[in-house]
Structure 1
Amino acid sequence: MNFKDLKIAIPTEIMEGEDRVSATPETVSSMIEEGAEVLVQAGAGEGSFFSDQKYQAAGAEILTDVEKLFAAADLILKVKEPQFNQELDKHEVDLMHAGQYLITFIHPASPGNHQMVKKLAEKGIISLTLDSIPRISKAQAMDTLSSMSTVAGYKGVLMAADILPKFMPMITTGVGMIKPANALVLGTGVAGLQAAATAKRLGAVVHAADIRPEASEQAQSVGSKPLDLEIPEAEAVGEGGYAKELSEKLLEKERGIIAEQIEKFDFLILSALIPGKVAPILITEAMVKKMEPGSVIVDIAIDQGGNCEITEPGKIVKKHGVTIIGTKNIPGMLPKSSTWMFSKNIYKFISHVIEAGKIEIESDDEILSSTLVTDGEKIVHQGALEAMNK
């Protein structure tokens, strides 16, 4: 009975286009078996095709009033970071109270979220971010970032194909052969690897680049051609196999290599991330200007600031003849698959960090210390603090 006497709230996600939900009837049932009382906002699961009746059958209480839902909860589980609720004319943080736990994707290093994170600290919220779960063996089943990255990599290529003004595969016609599209995937972690594999399956000629040798080799294993960024391994690979934050000098070197070849690519998939930090700028406006008119950039890294200098968060824009996709909730576009994965990940996470209905903030547990953003008094997340002080 690990969750004994804990009231867990599952609100409806209010970000535009966000159809995911943080728990399914299956995981709600598991929480209740562990002693929790689960409150679900009416309609929270409709976008992912889970009815209120299914949640009720699992043992949840359905509430229509979101303010009552937030007020009653000890722990709030969300998919996206707190947003401004237009209907209530209030921010979701303003619905919370001191001592509450919040677990969601907060992306605390992203500049657009700094004010919200500061507000969480001021309100006395104990918040944990799912985008900072360390990539270690015991956290594998909790790795929401990898799960959602799989969705983003797959869907990002489909979005590029939809906008691209030419065929992706080679096409033979009665008037001649049309050459396949050329793709460049930057960052071949989970999202980039899935993007490279999907683009290859759709018939594109795929080049891929990652500063980590192992990630680059994995991209080659799914049929992509390597683009060597010439970054020494010692400078590239950090703890847990994640990419390290590079110096400005090495970033300039990396951008220079990409700039030399960028004209030959019809579309770019950008997914280079540094855990808990702002995403590195790999594509400058000057580089976008060099691309052929009609080219497409899908900036999957936008939730952490984006890899392209001129991506507009949450928007699809055309600049210098290039369509730049800054959609912020790509996994939400495949809500059924992404919710199935996310709900299982977050259940595993809370099962790990909660003991006897509480989170022990002073714990030296690596997973807890990596994900803690605000401790009820102040901001403690290292990546957020570094980004705020730049």
Structure 2
Amino acid sequence: MPRLLIPIETALGETRVSATPETVKKLISIGFSVYFKKGAGERAGFSDDSYLAAGADLFSEENGELVNQIDVVLCVNCPCQEFLSKLKKGVLIVGLLAPYGNTNLATSIESGGISALSLELLPRISRAQSSDVLSSQANIAGYKAVLLGASALDRYFPMLMTAAGTVQPAKVVVLGAGVAGLQAIATAKRLGAVVFVSDIRPAVKEQIESLGARFIEPPAIAEDPSESGGYATQVSDEFLIAQRQELKKQLIDADVAICTAQVPGKKSPRLIDEEMLDQMRSGSVVVDLAVSQGGNCFGTKPGETILRKGVKLIGASDLPCTVPNHASTLFARNLLALLEPLMNEAELTLNTEDELIDGALISKNGVIRHAHLINSGGSN
């Protein structure tokens, strides 16, 4: 019976947990022995007693032998090197491991004989939807980004007819119509804003308009942006320059811009430059969800709100951490859906012939399988 550990997340500002009492019960029912570190779920609203009631055991820091008996570690973010060095060879780490250019992770994997499933690399196929943590967390980010924008704005979102006259609705421009962007559209519409959406893919126009937003047509130049693995592909500098020209017209009278455009393992495309910001009205707001990958907007910084010539620039990194209870609930269900098919008669099997596992398994017993990603030069 494999032993599974729920650690305390140590990344700065991280409030989520990788398993909840709900999923602990199900993990035990499919054959895992589950251990949790004291306080693992407190910041997400799950007490130690609730884990004990679900059947998990408290992991004792003093029991050095138990560390060497753990078979699976479920995490939100990659554990630190010191923790990884204490685990036994062959242990499986499952979480958001930030594999792109992560040489520290590669060192830990090779020296510790670690197997690692990186959730960022799950292929975006129909069968993977129930395990897709990027989508479940991006949904939260898109929702919360609009609330941040509405809170920071100096105007109402909806149109109001009052005794003092009519208040016109806010204009929201959403950049990128992926999962976060679509949720941002839906949330802004529910709050009563008029929403315009820019995306490099003409194919998303129907989805955008079905939510009641208006599609900003991509530049009519000799390039056909598409998707790869469920994500928008990177485009040329010429295309981005033309796209910015189209956006400039919309941003001049925009109240809120929500930036969501990201390409996995690449620097985020710069969609709002300094000149465009100069033309936005004083009191308007930019919420940049892509800030951790360089940002879609000039001047944004992770976790900071900057006032630039009257325009508020919000570097909205880690928004799911601000909704930790639901974020953890969804994250934990995603992990359960991934692990459940891997268990057979209380034995965990990593079948690399399975498309789902093959794409996300970056190492097996210390042998790195996707070296081109870890050596890609991305951020550690």
Q: TM class by shorter-chain length? A: 0.7 to 0.9
The match for 2:38 is 42
Query: What is the 5 A alignment of 1:39-118?
Result: 39-63=35-59, 65=61, 72-82=69-79, 92-93=83-84, 96=87, 98-109=89-100, 114-118=102-106
Query: What is the 5 A alignment of 1:184-195?
Result: 184-195=173-184
The match for 1:285 is 274
Q: Read off the aligned partner of 2:151 and give its amino acid letter.
A: D
The reply to whether residue 237 of structure 1 matches residue 226 of structure 2 is yes
The match for 2:329 is 340
The reply to whether residue 26 of structure 1 matches residue 52 of structure 2 is no
The reply to whether residue 321 of structure 1 matches residue 310 of structure 2 is yes
CA distance in 1, matches of 2:131, 2:280: 39
Distance 1:328 1:66, change over 3 A: farther
Structure 2 residue runs of 5 or longer lacking an equivalent are none
Following TM superposition, by how much is the alpha carbon of 1:93 offset from its aligned partner in structure 2, in angstroms? 4.7
Moved more, 22-31 or 115-124: 115-124
Following TM superposition, by how much is the alpha carbon of 1:344 offset from its aligned partner in structure 2, in angstroms? 0.9
Partner SS state of residue 370, structure 1: helix
CA distance in 2, matches of 1:302, 1:117: 23
The match for 1:295 is 284
Distance 1:381 1:23, change over 3 A: farther
Distance 1:64 1:279, change over 3 A: farther
Moved more, 289-298 or 63-72: 63-72
Q: Read off the aligned partner of 1:235 and give its amino acid letter.
A: D
CA distance in 2, matches of 1:231, 1:106: 38
The match for 2:348 is 357
The match for 2:149 is 160
Q: Read off the aligned partner of 1:225 and give its amino acid letter.
A: R
The reply to whether residue 246 of structure 1 matches residue 243 of structure 2 is no
Partner SS state of residue 137, structure 2: helix
Partner SS state of residue 78, structure 1: strand
Following TM superposition, by how much is the alpha carbon of 1:238 offset from its aligned partner in structure 2, in angstroms? 2.4
CA distance in 1, matches of 2:152, 2:2: 47
1:180-204: CA deviation from partner (whole Å, max 9, x where unpaired): 2111111111111110011011111
CA distance in 2, matches of 1:379, 1:320: 48
Following TM superposition, by how much is the alpha carbon of 1:50 offset from its aligned partner in structure 2, in angstroms? 1.9
Distance 1:140 1:65, change over 3 A: same
Following TM superposition, by how much is the alpha carbon of 1:351 offset from its aligned partner in structure 2, in angstroms? 2.6
Q: Read off the aligned partner of 2:73 and give its amino acid letter.
A: I
Distance 1:99 1:162, change over 3 A: same
1:50-75: CA deviation from partner (whole Å, max 9, x where unpaired): 22122112221112539957654222
Q: Read off the aligned partner of 1:211 and give its amino acid letter.
A: I
CA contact (8 A) 1:70 1:76 kept: no
Moved more, 50-59 or 138-147: 50-59
Following TM superposition, by how much is the alpha carbon of 1:142 offset from its aligned partner in structure 2, in angstroms? 0.7
1:91-146: CA deviation from partner (whole Å, max 9, x where unpaired): 6555556433221122333x7xx354344445443322212222211111111111
Q: Read off the aligned partner of 2:245 and give its amino acid letter.
A: G
Distance 1:38 1:336, change over 3 A: same
1:208-243: CA deviation from partner (whole Å, max 9, x where unpaired): 122223323211111111111236797322245431
CA distance in 2, matches of 1:219, 1:157: 16
CA distance in 1, matches of 2:155, 2:85: 48
Distance 1:151 1:252, change over 3 A: same
Distance 1:202 1:138, change over 3 A: same
Partner SS state of residue 308, structure 1: coil
Partner SS state of residue 90, structure 2: coil
Following TM superposition, by how much is the alpha carbon of 1:368 offset from its aligned partner in structure 2, in angstroms? 2.1
Q: Read off the aligned partner of 1:20 and give its amino acid letter.
A: R
CA RMSD of aligned residues (A): 2.8
CA distance in 1, matches of 2:269, 2:54: 43
CA distance in 1, matches of 2:235, 2:86: 39
Distance 1:64 1:179, change over 3 A: farther
Structure 1 residue runs of 5 or longer lacking an equivalent are 84-89
The match for 2:169 is 180
Percent of matched pairs sharing the same residue: 37
Distance 1:118 1:248, change over 3 A: farther
Q: Read off the aligned partner of 1:41 and give its amino acid letter.
A: K
Distance 1:63 1:290, change over 3 A: same
Q: TM-score normalized by structure 1?
A: 0.85
CA contact (8 A) 2:103 2:374 kept: no
CA distance in 1, matches of 2:8, 2:48: 12
Following TM superposition, by how much is the alpha carbon of 1:261 offset from its aligned partner in structure 2, in angstroms? 2.8
The match for 2:191 is 202
Partner SS state of residue 79, structure 1: strand
CA contact (8 A) 1:276 1:384 kept: no
Q: Read off the aligned partner of 1:165 and give its amino acid letter.
A: D
CA distance in 2, matches of 1:369, 1:184: 38
Distance 1:169 1:332, change over 3 A: same
CA distance in 1, matches of 2:305, 2:88: 36
* Count of aligned positions: 374
CA distance in 1, matches of 2:350, 2:122: 16
CA distance in 2, matches of 1:67, 1:354: 27
The match for 2:2 is 6
CA contact (8 A) 2:103 2:375 kept: no
Partner SS state of residue 386, structure 1: coil
CA contact (8 A) 1:211 1:233 kept: no
Partner SS state of residue 349, structure 1: helix
Following TM superposition, by how much is the alpha carbon of 1:313 offset from its aligned partner in structure 2, in angstroms? 1.9
